[in-house]
């Protein structure tokens, strides 16, 4: 298995002008502002989500929305200076996060310096051939003494002539400056279907020569993706086919839709099996997922699909908290709002779910490199698997309004990564029970989470208000203690003062409510009795000393259980 950073990437997509609260138009900005440094404050948030790649929308000088470039070599003064952005890029890279910029090479704005030279000097401008279909025998809709080709009829966006060598060299040199000064790791190519493919060949040769793993991804809405994503042109394209299927399959309760697209693209004989397509549930051009789904209960299922399907997973800023936004009167402003971390709760269920998905996608190679195979497809249920070598992950989803139980594999046992528990087979068959609008990920392989633990966890039954603790939980060996052994002569009331009652989050992501502090009848050791808040609400018991200890996880020492609230 050849390692490739893009296979292991989880993207976070930001539209900087909106995210940073920049003025709508350049003339509203009197002096340069360092708003872009706001990104540094968000680095811990990205790390919590296991984000390791940041895609920034247009960031260079423009008059309005960023896709009307004025200068490819200056950061938009509404965001800051080049020096400000260098500091941001350095901080992001130090955090282990790669940076992808928006390359807008099909067109520029009317404030682009070379176009303004043509406006001033007309036929005498040395830049007259930089623009597509310049004609000095007619006038433009803006009453210029010449006409020109615009992007899809938007005459504030002037199409560049990418068959002109001077134009191409200027753009390549600009990219070289970004690579040298900002150390960027890739480009997202805007309006890729409108760009001369010879330019992409030049761009790929130019960037790969300087950085072998430099990533080029094109914005493609329709058509055969392999026409753009292939060894000669780009590395990847936007997966709009599955973008539509992700929300539509849930709105219509028809998993056959997304299953068809995934199988066509990545199944046995899939036409894009060798491509890492860029997958997303929303972005700066389409309505927010929370505004598109008819039932918000399906948000977690959509993102579970997004993180486990083949290709690259990407989150659009703010959508991890389920924010809404729709196009209004032809404006995209509601899709690109200013946001602050202080306006969101880190206890938001969707955010916690995405953090959990980030941990799983980071930890399990089949989600990064494994093949794709469908197991069960129904209107309201969908199970597929990702397999690599001796490891298999089953992704099971239920969009129905009722509980459903489905078989998914032959074998003895599988580990439910969401419920954090082992499933055991009956008569050699493994089955999963899913609540309405619920999904989970099941693991079969040598990397079983419980195989690494010497702690034997046994469930206890909860009937009415009575707890019957049937099994004794033993302390694991070689664990670090954060507290001294409990005094066996203390009462349960005295012991309980060492642990604040309320809701706690296990370091693997699940949440539990502490019910009681009890004493072991044989040893008088203090025990914590706690109930799982989601899934089947199982009740567990473990020593207080173990509950309050720290563990090593992802290279850090963190609490086994973190207090959230009462």
Asked if residue 527 lies in contact with residue 543, where contact means CB atoms within 8 angstroms, the answer is yes
**How would DSSP label each residue in 269-295?**
T-TTTT---EEES--TTS--HHHH-S-
User: Rounded to two decimals, what is the model's pTM?
Assistant: 0.81
Domain limits of the chain?
Answer: 10-106+163-365, 107-161, 371-450, 455-565
* CA atoms within 13 Å, Cβ hemisphere of 411: 17
Look at the domain 455-565 and name its fold: SH3 type barrels. (2.30.30)
In angstroms, the CA 107 to CA 126 distance is: 18
Condensed to tens digits (0 to 9), the pLDDT of residues 364-398 reads: 999 999 999 999 999 999 999 999 999 999 999 99
Domains 10-106+163-365 and 371-450 agree in fold: no
Query: Three-state DSSP class for 185?
Result: coil
Q: What is the DSSP code (8-state) at residue 341?
A: G
In whole angstroms, what is the distance from residue 96 CA to residue 243 CA? Answer: 28
Q: Class for domain 10-106+163-365, per CATH?
A: alpha beta
Q: Write the CB contacts of 279 (distance below 8 Å, at least 6 apart in sequence).
A: 239, 242, 243, 306, 309, 311, 312, 313, 314
CA 347 – CA 327 distance, rounded (Å): 28
Q: What is the phi-psi region of residue 351: left when phi exceeds 0, alpha when psi lies from -120 to 50, beta otherwise?
A: alpha
Task: Tell me the longest C-alpha to C-alpha distance in the chain.
Answer: 99
Which pLDDT score is estimated for 554? 64
Mean of per-residue pLDDT scores for the chain: 90
Neighbours of 294 (CB within 10 A): 11
Strand, coil or helix: 426:
strand
What local confidence, expressed as pLDDT, does residue 501 receive? 81
Cβ neighbours of residue 467 closer than 8 Å, sequence gap 6 or more: 460, 461, 515, 516, 529, 539
Residue that wins the pLDDT comparison between 507 and 9 = 9
Q: What is the pLDDT of residue 555?
A: 63
Confidence tier at 450 by pLDDT (50, 70, 90): low
- Would you say residue 545 has pLDDT above 50? yes
Task: Give residue 550's pLDDT band: very low, low, confident or very high (50, 70, 90).
Answer: confident
User: Is 60 exceeded by the pLDDT of residue 538?
Assistant: yes
Task: Confirm if 191 and 219 have CB atoms less than 8 A apart.
Answer: yes
Question: Stretch 253-272: mean pLDDT, rounded?
Answer: 97
d(CA 262, CA 373): 9
Homologous superfamily, domain 371-450: Golgi alpha-mannosidase II (2.60.40.1180)
Integer Cα distance of 395 and 309 in angstroms:
9
List alpha helices for 467-560, DSSP H: 492-496, 544-547
Q: In this structure, what are the phi and psi dihedrals at residue 109, rounded to the nearest 5 degrees? A: -90, 170
Q: Would strands 429-434 and 438-444 be described as parallel, antiparallel, or unpaired?
A: unpaired
pLDDT in tens, 296-317: 999 999 999 999 999 999 999 9
For the segment 509-521, what is each residue's pLDDT rounded down to a tens digit?
778 888 888 888 7
DSSP per residue, 362-422: HH-THHHH-EEEEEEE-SSEEEEEEEETTEEEEEEEE-SSS-EEEEEEESSEEEETTTTEE
Domain spanning 107-161, CATH class: alpha beta
Q: How far apart are CA 372 and CA 305, in angstroms?
A: 12
254: closest CA among 381, 369, 158, 444?
Answer: 381
Mean pLDDT across 269-284? 97
Neighbour order of strands in the sheet with 186-189: 236-237, 215-218, 186-189, 98-103, 53-56, 10-14, 312-316, 278-280
pLDDT of residue 462: 35
């Amino acid at each position: 298995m050849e390692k490739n950073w893009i296979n292991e990437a989880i993207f976070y997509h930001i539209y900087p002008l909106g995210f940073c609260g920049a003025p709508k138009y350049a003339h509203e900005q009197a002096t340069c502002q360092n708003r872009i440094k706001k990104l540094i404050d968000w680095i811990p948030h990205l790390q919590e989500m296991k984000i390791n790649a940041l895609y920034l929308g247009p960031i260079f000088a423009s008059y309005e929305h960023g896709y009307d470039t004025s200068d490819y070599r200056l950061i938009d003064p509404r965001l800051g200076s080049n020096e400000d952005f260098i500091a941001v890029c350095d901080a992001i890279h130090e955090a282990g996060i790669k940076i992808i910029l928006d390359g807008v090479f099909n067109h520029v704005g009317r404030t682009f310096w070379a176009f303004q030279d043509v406006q001033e000097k007309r036929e005498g401008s040395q830049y007259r051939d930089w623009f597509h279909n310049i004609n000095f025998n007619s006038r433009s809709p803006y009453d210029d003494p010449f006409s020109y080709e615009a992007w899809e009829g938007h005459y504030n966006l002037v199409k560049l002539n990418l068959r002109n060598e001077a134009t191409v060299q200027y753009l390549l040199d600009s990219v070289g400056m970004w690579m040298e000064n900002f150390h960027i790791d890739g480009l997202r190519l805007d309006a890729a279907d409108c760009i001369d493919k010879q330019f992409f060949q030049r761009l790929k040769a130019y960037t790969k020569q300087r950085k072998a793993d430099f990533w080029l991804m094109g914005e493609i809405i329709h058509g055969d993706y392999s026409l753009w994503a292939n060894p000669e042109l780009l590395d990847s394209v936007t997966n709009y086919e599955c973008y539509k299927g992700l929300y539509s399959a849930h709105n219509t309760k028809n998993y056959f839709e997304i299953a068809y697209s995934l199988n066509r693209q990545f199944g046995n004989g899939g036409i894009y099996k060798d491509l890492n397509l860029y997958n997303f549930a929303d972005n700066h051009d389409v309505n927010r997922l929370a505004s598109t789904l008819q039932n918000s209960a399906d948000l977690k299922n959509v993102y579970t699909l997004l993180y486990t399907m083949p290709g690259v997973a990407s989150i659009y800023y703010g959508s991890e908290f389920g924010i809404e936004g729709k196009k209004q009167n032809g404006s995209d402003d509601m899709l690109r709002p200013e946001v602050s971390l202080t306006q969101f709760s880190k206890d938001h269920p969707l955010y916690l779910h995405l953090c959990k998905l980030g941990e799983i996608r980071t930890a399990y190679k089949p989600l990064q490199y494994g093949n794709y195979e469908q197991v069960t497809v129904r209107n309201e249920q969908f199970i597929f698997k990702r397999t690599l070598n001796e490891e298999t992950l089953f992704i099971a989803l239920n969009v129905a309004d009722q509980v459903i139980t489905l078989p998914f594999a032959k074998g003895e046992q599988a580990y439910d990564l969401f419920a954090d528990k082992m499933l055991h087979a009956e008569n050699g068959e493994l089955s999963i029970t899913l609540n309405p609008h619920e999904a989970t990920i099941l693991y079969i392989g040598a990397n079983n989470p419980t195989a690494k633990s010497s702690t034997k966890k046994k469930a206890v039954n909860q009937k009415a208000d009575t707890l019957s603790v049937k099994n004794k939980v033993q302390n694991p060996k070689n664990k670090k203690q954060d507290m001294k052994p409990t005094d066996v002569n203390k009462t349960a009331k005295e012991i309980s003062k060492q642990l604040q009652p309320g809701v706690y989050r296990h370091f693997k992501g699940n949440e539990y409510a502490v019910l009681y502090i009890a004493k072991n009848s044989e040893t008088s050791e203090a025990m914590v009795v706690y109930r799982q808040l989601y899934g089947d609400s199982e009740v567990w018991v473990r020593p207080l000393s173990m509950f309050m200890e720290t563990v090593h996880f992802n290279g850090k020492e963190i609490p086994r259980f973190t207090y959230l609230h009462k």
